[in-house]
Amino acid sequence: VQASEAYTFNSFFGRINYVYKDRYAFQFTSRVDGSSKFGANNKMGFFPAASGAWTVSEEDFMKDVSFVNFLKLRASYGVVGNASLGSGEYYPDYTQGGIPYNNGGTLYLDGLGNPNLGWEQLRNTDVAVEFAGFDNRLTGELAYYHKITTSTILRPGVQASAGVPDIARNLRESKVLNEGLELSLNLKLINKADIKWSIGGNIAKNYNEVLKWELGPDAVSGGTNDTRVVEGLPIGVNYLVRYYGVDPADGLPIWLDKTGKQTKTFSLDHRVFAGAVQPDYFGGFNSAVQYKGFDFNVLFTYVIGGNLYDNSGKYQFMGTSKKNWNFRKDFFDRWTQPGDDAQYPRLTYDAANYPGVPSEDQFNSTMFLHDASFLRMRELTLGYTFKPASLKRWRMQSLKVYVT
Rounded CA separation 347/118 (Å): 49
**CA dihedral (123, 153, 85, 273) positive or negative:** positive
Do 222 and 165 share a structural domain?
A: no
On whether residue 197 sits in a domain, the answer given is: no
Q: Is residue 289 part of a domain?
A: no
Total domain count, the chain: 2
Tell me whether residue 236 is in a domain. Answer: yes
Residues 4, 376: Cα–Cα separation, whole Å: 40
What is the identity of the amino acid at 180?
A: G
Based on the domain organization, do 116 and 258 belong to the same domain?
A: no
Within-domain flag for 183: no
- What pLDDT score does 129 carry? 98
Residue 45 · residue 118 · CB < 8 Å: yes
Residues β-bridged to residue 91: none
- 340 part of a folded domain: yes
Task: Give whole-number Cα distances, 301 to 110, 141, 376, in Å.
Answer: 45, 18, 5
What is the rounded CA–CA span in Å between residue 142 and residue 124? 17
Instruction: Identify the bridge partners of residue 101 per DSSP, sorted by sequence position.
Output: 104
Residue 160 lies in a domain: yes
Q: Which domain holds residue 266?
A: 218-278+294-404
Residues of the chain with pLDDT under 50: 1-2
Q: Both 224 and 161 in a single domain?
A: no
Residues 232 and 117 in one domain: no
Give CA–CA dist 301/207, Å, rounded.
Answer: 20
Q: Could you tell me which of 151, 39, 44 has the C-alpha nearest to residue 87?
A: 39
Predicted local distance difference test score (pLDDT) of residue 322: 61
User: Do 106 and 242 share a domain, yes or no?
Assistant: no
Q: What is the pLDDT of residues 167-195, one digit of tens each?
A: 888 999 999 999 999 999 999 999 998 99
| CA-wise closest residue to 110 among 169, 166, 38 | 166
So what's the pLDDT on residue 1?
43
